[in-house]
Structure 1
Amino acid sequence: MEGASTKGVLSQLSLLEVQARSRKSRLHQPSRVKELKAKVEALRIQRDQLRAEIETHKNLEKLRASMDKQCSQEEEEEEKMDDYSENSQLLQLMARHTQLKDLLYAHHIVGGYNVIRTGQGKGLCASLATAYEGVYLETYNVEIDLKPRLRISRHNVPPFIPVNSLAEQSNMQTDIRCFLDTLSKHLNAFAGRKQQLKLVKELHKSVEVFESNVLCSILVMLLTLPGEKSTVLCTLNYTDHTRLLPTGVHFECKDNALPDTPEWKKNCSLLMETPVHKALMTMMKNETIL
């Protein structure tokens, strides 16, 4: 009888515990529902923001593509801006801003060379101007694809200057500025040597140019000596194609001892250290040659 009473009490206590938990759960349920509703609303707001950003990005891409195709009509488009809605004007400015940022970045990485965009932003064209003694000469252009990797697509550099080899040697993939600097040195040195050859022919009528090549890396001249009017064959070698000055000078004449005289050793140093047309002028003033 006592055992049955004890079981009845335990059963009653268990029932009361279950009822208490149920009431507690019902008390917390409204706050849980409220919490979930707030989370859903926050996610909905985040979704709407992402949709707006995606739409803005799409509009920017369309505008940038349009601007790349119609750069020549940029002034006319700016005049029509007054007719656009406020949102369209903002998008136009944002697109122009990102375009200018890209151009400034490209200008920075190529070391200040003149650069224009090509292929709707998929490439760039760098212009390399050459000059000698303050006179601008030829300008060469190199068009480079940016994706999927840097690649020279077109150029008007003379074929005897190894553009692709220079790109590999200077590791264009990681340092495009180094490549353009190296190429610019080759082009300016070539333009300078070519200009010197032209000045020799124009300023020194008594000097006969026997031989030269398209790279102007060799120059053979016949120099006339005063007095008996004997001649000296002078050969200048430009083995360093990034330099304006020769790396070697060689004299040939009937008098084998002449090249070893102090005067002609001085002439040899002069030709090694001075542009050839100026060196010849000095030699004429010193009455070494006619």
Structure 2
Amino acid sequence: MEQANSVRPDGEPKAGILAHLEGLEAQMSRPCKRSKELQQARAEESALGTKIHELRRLRDKLRAEVNQQRARGKASSANVESGQTVEIGEQEVLERKQESVKAILQAYRFTGLSGKQTSRGVCVCISTAFEGNLLDSYFVDLVIQRPLWIHHHSIPVFIPLEKIAAKYLQTDVQRFLFSLCESLNAYAGRKYQADRLQSDFAAFLIRPLQRNSLCNLLSFTYKVDLMGQSSFCARLLYKDLTATLPTDATVTYQGTEALSALREEQRASHEALFCTKPLHQVFASFAREEELDLSLAS
């Protein structure tokens, strides 16, 4: 005998229908399950983020407390041992200055600065030059103490050593040496030009060259045409003591005849030459013109 209701009127078994319904139900439940898993993951992520933020806040708080304790400890130690700390601090400053001077001398050994360490500090030698010609050398004996001071030196009295030292020695040793070197080289360059004019071009000078000790004011009367009677008087002023070319050049005509257009042109060109070329180079050009005129005349 067949089991009752085992087959539907349309002939489909009941078991197949239930299985189909269960499959549909499973398919519908999958998205819901994934949505719940996603929500759960987001909730866990949010909780972790909150926890991380809280841990960072606690870390920063602890770090600040540690820094405060260290600062209080250092302040307390400084108050207890203030005298010793000041002494050590000054010693460190002096050692750093000494190392700075050594580094400067090493850096400038190819630019005219050299030196050696002494029992008191360091002795710096400044060698001057102009146009590749080595000129005079000077020395400064520095005592590395607090404050730094100059024990001996061979700097000429007209070089503003005290002014440069007051401005830079205690705050910037490198700037002090550089400024001093710059002033000495400029003086040596001006002196070199004046010496060359007197020794190599004396035939062009009507009267001896006049100059001051710093060689920043030169005055001389000269002629361009060695066979002529016309002459010029030049006054060169070097306002910048670190320069080897004059800042002001004044040339006046000294001839017996009236100032012609040609002489005025010469006078103006000489003023421009004195401000743009070294003194001995200007007179070297005068000599070449004289030689050219003599060759044309012969």
TM-score range, shorter chain: 0.5 to 0.7
Structure 1 residues 45-64: Cα deviation after superposition (integer angstroms, max 9, x where no partner): xxxxxxxxxxxxxxxxxxxx
Q: Give the aligned partner of residue 275 of structure 2.
A: 272
Residue 126, structure 1, aligned to residue 129, structure 2: no
Check whether the contact 2:101–2:174 (CA below 8 A) recurs between aligned residues: no
Query: Whole-Å Cα distance in 2 between the matches of residues 243 and 284 of structure 1?
Result: 25
Q: Give the aligned partner of residue 96 of structure 1.
A: none
Check whether the contact 2:232–2:267 (CA below 8 A) recurs between aligned residues: no
Tell me the CA shift for residue 262 of structure 1. 3.1
Q: Give the aligned partner of residue 156 of structure 1.
A: 154
Identify which of 202, 206, 219 aligns with 1:205: 202
Structure 2 regions of 5+ residues with no counterpart? 1-95
Identify which of 264, 271, 284 aligns with 1:281: 284
Query: Whole-Å Cα distance in 1 between the matches of residues 239 and 97 of structure 2?
Result: 40
Tell me the SS of whatever aligns to 2:117. Answer: strand
Q: Using structure 1 for the length normalisation, give the TM-score.
A: 0.58
Q: Using structure 2 for the length normalisation, give the TM-score.
A: 0.56
Query: Whole-Å Cα distance in 2 between the matches of residues 147 and 289 of structure 1?
Result: 65
1:124 and 1:232, CA in 2 relative to 1: closer, same or farther beyond 3 A?
Answer: same
Check whether the contact 1:211–1:221 (CA below 8 A) recurs between aligned residues: yes
Tell me the SS of whatever aligns to 2:202. Answer: coil
Tell me the CA shift for residue 207 of structure 1. 2.6
1:259 and 1:220, CA in 2 relative to 1: closer, same or farther beyond 3 A?
Answer: farther
Tell me the CA shift for residue 201 of structure 1. 1.4
Query: Whole-Å Cα distance in 1 between the matches of residues 186 and 162 of structure 2?
Result: 18
Q: Give the aligned partner of residue 191 of structure 1.
A: 188
1:132 and 1:228, CA in 2 relative to 1: closer, same or farther beyond 3 A?
Answer: closer
Structure 1 regions of 5+ residues with no counterpart? 1-100
Q: Give the aligned partner of residue 107 of structure 1.
A: 102
Query: Whole-Å Cα distance in 2 between the matches of residues 249 and 146 of structure 1?
Result: 44
Tell me the CA shift for residue 182 of structure 1. 0.6
Tell me the SS of whatever aligns to 2:214. Answer: coil
Structure 1 residues 179-198: Cα deviation after superposition (integer angstroms, max 9, x where no partner): 11111011111111111111
Give me the CA root mean square deviation: 2.8
Check whether the contact 2:101–2:173 (CA below 8 A) recurs between aligned residues: no
Query: Whole-Å Cα distance in 2 between the matches of residues 279 and 224 of structure 1?
Result: 13
1:246 and 1:182, CA in 2 relative to 1: closer, same or farther beyond 3 A?
Answer: same
Query: Whole-Å Cα distance in 2 between the matches of residues 147 and 155 of structure 1?
Result: 17
Pairs aligned (count): 187
Tell me the CA shift for residue 105 of structure 1. 4.8
| Aligned residues with identical type, % of pairs | 27
Tell me the CA shift for residue 225 of structure 1. 4.3
Check whether the contact 1:140–1:156 (CA below 8 A) recurs between aligned residues: yes
Tell me the CA shift for residue 205 of structure 1. 2.3
